[in-house]
Copies of this chain bind each other. A is one copy, B any other.
Amino acid sequence: MLVGGIEAGGTKFVCSVGTGPEELRADTRFPTTTPDETLSRAISFFKEQEAQEEPLSAIGVASFGPVDPDPDSSTFGFITSTPKTDWANTDFVGALRDHFHVPVGFDTDVNGAALAEGKWGAAAGLHTFIYLTIGTGIGGGAMVNGRLLHGLIHPEMGHIRLHHDWERDPFPGNCPYHGDCLEGMAAGPALEERWGQKGQELEPGHPAWDLEAEYLAQALQSLVCVLSPQRIIMGGGVMNQPELITKVRQKTATYLNDYIQHPAITDHINEYIVLPALGGRAGVLGAIALGLQALE
């Protein structure tokens, strides 16, 4: 069986065919330009794979957003009100369906990654968990009772409120919508703007990392209290800083202050807040998992 996956990022697309981490048969990556050009390249890649192997059985798309993931909506499969104006109101799934008459799964990149981590990675066997990415932006996907969380549209976990101590951190936040929300304070560009250096250039021990961990831990406190996840997976480029996850665990435990009496948090925080198991492949595997889900 051949399932196509598209990890549609704001700067690059990754396309692959396969059925899981042990079975990724080919892939390609190219920059995100106009919808026409970019989608054509994805379609050509899948056509080539079909010519070499067999027809696709399904396609999954894990996309930057906001998107419309509701199959009952008239704009299902669209990228909707994205600030990337070229891509606003793009009928992503429609473009694929013109060429492939197979089930298409479509969701946010983070819901895709959550699905893949639940199927093959750090959340295997769990029914309710969060996948959070801290990179150019901050986003979160969630599985609840074994199903991806959509609700009204889909979560936008990067935009929750934090306590901001202006004396300790005079950086005003750079979210164009909310100023000092989580993304405005703790995504990669906020790190760079605050410290005048890219995150990956800030050495271990730099005060940036304590502050970063504090904001992320505040967010985790709220996520734990709202969603009661069985685990939180933290991916994205900023999490590559090796000390950061340890600091986040410590500060989250401090902030929660044993209020949530469950051994997962009080005794096993190292297994409660974890890095992704699928690493950089979580995105495209998320897309393939969405394709497999559409097939079911």
Contacts and interface: CB of A to CB of B under 8 A. Distances in A.
Nearest to A127: B151
B225 A157 contact: yes
B260 A152 contact: yes
A163 B160 contact: no
B151 A66 contact: no
Interface in A3-50: none
A178 interface: yes
Given A152-B228, A264-B152, A222 B160 contact: yes
A195 interface: no
How many chain A residues sit at the interface, stated as a range, is 35 or more
Interface in A147-176: 147, 149-164
A213 to B, nearest CB: 14
A230 interface: yes
A117 B278 CA distance: 40
Interface string A225-239: 111111000000000
A259 B184 CA distance: 13
A160 B226 contact: yes
A159 B261 contact: no
A226 B227 contact: yes
Given A151-B228, A151-B230, A260 B156 contact: yes
A81 interface: yes
B177 A257 contact: yes
A259 B159 contact: yes
A227 B261 contact: no
A128 B154 CA distance: 11
A155 B257 contact: no
A161 B159 CA distance: 13
A227 B153 CA distance: 10
A120 to B, nearest CB: 21
B163 A161 contact: yes
A149 B149 CA distance: 11
A66 to B, nearest CB: 7
Interface string A252-291: 0001111111101100000000000000000000000000
A152 B259 contact: no
A141 B227 CA distance: 10
B261 A152 contact: no
A159 B260 CA distance: 10
Nearest to A150: B228
Interface of A: 66, 80-81, 128, 140, 144-145, 147, 149-164, 177-178, 180, 218-219, 221-230, 255-262, 264-265
Given A144-B151, A156-B259, 6 more contacts: A145-B150, A149-B228, A152-B224, A152-B228, A152-B264, A161-B162
